[in-house]
Amino acid sequence: MRVLILAAGLGKRMKSKYPKVVHKILGKPMINWVIDLGKRFGEVGVVVGHKAEIVKGYLPMDVRTYLQEHQLGTGHAVMCAREFIDENDDVLILYGDVPLLKSETIEKLNEIHKSRNADVTVLSFIADDPTGYGRIIRQDGRIRIVEHKDASESEKEIKEVNSGIYIFKGNFLLANLDRLNNNNAQGEYYLTDLVGLAQNAEALILDDPIQVSGVNDRIQLAQLESIAKERILNQLMLSGVTIVDPQSTFISPDVVIGMDTVIHPFTIIEGKTTIGEDCEIGPYTRIIDSEIGNKVKVMRSEIEGVKIENNVSVGPFARLREGTVLRENVKIGNFVETKKSIIGKNSKAQHLTYLGDATVGEDVNVGAGTITCNYDGYKKYPTHIKDKAFIGSNSSLVAPVTIGSGAIVGAGSVITEDVPDDSLALGRARQTIKEGWAKQKREAMENADNKK
Ligand code: UD1
Ligand code: CA
């Protein structure tokens, strides 16, 4: 089937400069939750309108967009996407601001739609307070929908309401869209009117209305965030991941985590991140868009756009930035920052170091306080540190520069020229000793004090 997402509405109550559907739940824009759900069922189209250019910036390449310049109602929104509708295919209608719908629900809706050969199948639910929703009127074996503002007093009593999610037969839509008019209380083209026009309309009552809750303001945004969070953490726990404190843990929907990994409190994992088995992540850690192997330990650190192989340990207080690759058994310790750097197997940078644009070989020891000086104010330059090299503490490696394999850099050096393999490089002032100088100084000061 084809999936059409309505996302042209304004979302005034968000009080935002940005369109409603780009606001995020667990770090993922609402519209992308809906698109990813839709993609499981078929080709996706999105109707954009209010701040269309901003919304388009969030859409994947393979999604088609249709512009609804003026928001004249949900029926009008579908009319704007007429070319997306295929007469031989069903159309699932979703809303861009309803992010928590489950694919099982769509499957059930589709089963009914198919088995009863319906023109349209509506997803409805029973609302404690139906105010604002379209009411489902069931009469003489037929179904129609009356919008709240058009409903009579007795119709307003009805608690079965329209979620706004439907499956239509493409040919039914194409044949009937033009029959819609705006002679109603709101002067809008109602998509709901098509239900009454259908010879064969069906409705499935959803017993878990949270799935179809929309977001109208930021309070509802936070409510859905907490529901989504619980749902995702529960799935992870049921699949074998330990979450020590679900309250303080935030994991985005596209994160994959392996069995027997433990997530410690105050940890946030976002984007397209995968984490292997038997890892210890957190406490106080944020990981974004990274790929992490098995048996990796990360404590109190920030990691973004990084690849980490097995048996690595990171932190506490490390910051691994875009383009960092840590091979097996690497150890990155406290106050270490890395950017666009590859660190080879068994190598260590345990304390107070910056590695930028660096390629580090295997079995290298990077001493405390080592800095790659990769930027001269205009350009970035690479540093190469070959296998088994030893960089003494507090050294500055002024790039571009290569430290040969097995070479040693003396502590406190400023290295501006390449260091050959297996050599010692010292780039620091020679130490001088003035014997007795301190004592003389002390005595001179004391004498001066006594004369006062
Ligand atoms: C709609 C339904 C109502 C249902 C309710 C569920 C109609 C006429 N009514 O009402 O029966 O109970 O949803 O929430 O369909 N949109 C556009 N273009 C427009 C108008 C809306 O893209 O011109 C999009 C909005 O961005 C939103 C969705 O369609 O995502 C629903 O619009 P909204 O105005 O919230 O519909 P309701 O009037 O609440
Ligand atoms: Ca609404």
6 lines ligand 1 (CB under 6 A): yes
Structural tokens at position 384: 């190469």
What is the pLDDT at residue 450? Answer: 87
Give the end-to-end CA distance of the chain in Å, rounded to a whole number: 99
Q: What residue type is assigned to position 330 of the chain?
A: V
Nearest CA to ligand 1 atom 3: 134
Strand extents, DSSP E, 8-56 = 24-25, 28-29, 44-48
What stretches in the chain show pLDDT beneath 70? none
- In the reported structure, the alpha carbon of residue 89 is separated from the centroid of ligand 1 by a whole-number distance in angstroms of 23
Structural tokens at position 406: 């097995």
What is the pLDDT at residue 434? Answer: 97
Q: Point out the ligand nearest to the CA of residue 213.
A: 1
Contact 240, 260 (CB under 8 A): yes
What is the pLDDT at residue 185? Answer: 97
Q: Which pTM was predicted? A: 0.92
Contact 364, 341 (CB under 8 A): no
Contact 50, 18 (CB under 8 A): no
Model pLDDT for residues 381-426, shown as the tens digit of each residue: 999 999 999 999 999 999 999 999 999 999 999 999 999 999 999 9
191 lines ligand 1 (CB under 6 A): yes
Question: Using CA atoms, how far apart are residues 39 and 69, in angstroms rounded to an integer?
Answer: 25
7 lines ligand 1 (CB under 6 A): yes
What is the pLDDT at residue 182? Answer: 97
Question: Where in the sequence numbering do the catalytic residues fall?
Answer: 351
Q: Which of 20, 40, 22 is nearest to 32 (CA)?
A: 22
- Write down the mean pLDDT value for the chain: 97
Contact 400, 382 (CB under 8 A): yes
- In the reported structure, the alpha carbon of residue 149 is separated from the centroid of ligand 2 by a whole-number distance in angstroms of 13
- Residue carrying structure tokens 């410690």: 264
- In the reported structure, the alpha carbon of residue 215 is separated from the centroid of ligand 2 by a whole-number distance in angstroms of 8
71 lines ligand 1 (CB under 6 A): yes
Model pLDDT for residues 435-446, shown as the tens digit of each residue: 999 999 999 999
What is the pLDDT at residue 424? Answer: 98
Residue among 12, 74, 184, 212 whose CB has most ligand 1 atoms within 8 A, to mutate: 74
What is the pLDDT at residue 451? Answer: 84
Model pLDDT for residues 287-313, shown as the tens digit of each residue: 999 999 999 999 999 999 999 999 999
Q: Point out the ligand nearest to the CA of residue 80.
A: 1
Task: Give the chain's radius of gyration (CA, Å).
Answer: 32
Q: Which of 165, 38, 46 is nearest to 103 (CA)?
A: 38
99 lines ligand 1 (CB under 6 A): no
- In the reported structure, the alpha carbon of residue 190 is separated from the centroid of ligand 2 by a whole-number distance in angstroms of 13
Question: Using CA atoms, how far apart are residues 328 and 363, in angstroms rounded to an integer?
Answer: 11
What is the atom index within ligand 1 of the atom nearest the CA of 72? 23
Model pLDDT for residues 103-125, shown as the tens digit of each residue: 999 999 999 999 999 999 999 99
130 lines ligand 1 (CB under 6 A): no
What is the pLDDT at residue 10? Answer: 83
- Residue carrying structure tokens 């345990």: 350
Q: Which of 180, 169, 15 is nearest to 89 (CA)?
A: 169
Q: What residue type is assigned to position 4 of the chain?
A: L
